Amino acid sequence: SDALHVWKKWETVENYTFGKNRGNLQMITDLHALHPYFRDRINQLINNCRKKGIEVAIVESYRTKAKQAEYFGMGRKYTRSAGGKSKHQYGLACDLVPIIDGVAQWDNKALWRKVGIEGEKLGLRWGGRWRTPYDPAHFEWTGGLATADLVAGMYPKPTVM
């Protein structure tokens, strides 16, 4: 397979796939688009939730600069980060949602808390702890780097644990 074009085969979803307006551009849901260490943590989070009887769906993994700009243009309830300033653009953030009977549970705070705590046990930063914006779908890992470091071209090493 041609490594330069493998991204064209990434899994994606369309707007409203999970019952919310997520803009016109497709969302990438493929975990292969994430940093290897972070991807392993997200897989473990999904498996740990499953063991507790909680189904979790991937809403968005890697995010293009164009998609981030679209969210930014949709207003502060979507993001406060302009294109190039989101951890999603570096494969270091992933949005998930718990599912019950095939329906995304965006407003079930008790269920979100269970998922969030499982992510935190794995060393992930959970957006459900944030006050503004409260973002319980969001999990991230930076390997100790700030967004400014990422923008400057630094990237966590795959072997960081």
Per-residue pLDDT tens digits for 98-126: 999 999 999 999 999 999 999 999 999 99
Backbone angles phi, psi at 56, to 5 degrees: -125, 135
pLDDT tens-digit readout, 29-71: 999 999 999 999 999 999 999 999 999 999 999 988 888 888 8
Task: Kindly report the pTM of this predicted structure.
Answer: 0.88
Gap between the Cα atoms of 120 and 114, Å rounded: 10
